[in-house]
Copies of this chain bind each other. A is one copy, B any other.
Amino acid sequence: MMAAKKTQVAIIMGSDSDLGVMKEAAKALDTFKISYDVKILSAHRSPDKTARFAKNAKKNGIKVIIAGAGGAAHLAGVVAAHTILPVIGVPIESKLNGLDSLLSTVQMPAGIPVATMAVGKAGAINAAILAAEIIGICEEKIEKKLVMFKQELVKKIDDKNKQLKI
């Protein structure tokens, strides 16, 4: 399901146990027909590969990086340190309900932003949508898909209301 050449988005995560959450980002990118790549890269266990990935991402044509991690979730911040691409962080649930993951991802010092999403699957899906919104600024094709996506959200709620029984 991974898109072919000219990958626009990189989805990275700290551990393969994060895949259950992060594949939601992949599925959402599929609906926007945005090409992506998925990789396990740990800020702590494979720091050099992570740094190399981040430094080369732009020249490899990547436009947005989505990074998911839990606990002392440093991955998004560490990647953001090495790139001028927008980095989107997805905090993944942990021992402390994901509060640690959220704070470790969002409380970045001035100079190095991480665009932080909600904890868990909703966050992973939204990371993909934000990536689409970012790419959509200069790609009209994506922009149109986003307009349709928003209309679809309204329609789904209409349908739910029709089925609603209480």
Contacts and interface: CB of A to CB of B under 8 A. Distances in A.
Contacts of A109: 14-15, 42, 44-45, 70-72, 118, 122
Contacts of A122: 71, 95, 107-110
A111 B125 contact: yes
A88 B134 CA distance: 11
Nearest to A145: B84
Contacts of A77: 43-44, 72, 74
Nearest to A147: B84
Contacts of A84: 133, 136, 143, 146-147, 149-150
Q: How many copies does the complex hold?
A: 8
Given A26-B166, A106-B117, 19 more contacts: A16-B164, A19-B164, A38-B164, A41-B157, A45-B154, A47-B81, A72-B74, A72-B107, A84-B150, A86-B130, A86-B134, A95-B120, A96-B98, A97-B97, A106-B106, A106-B116, A113-B127, A116-B116, A134-B134
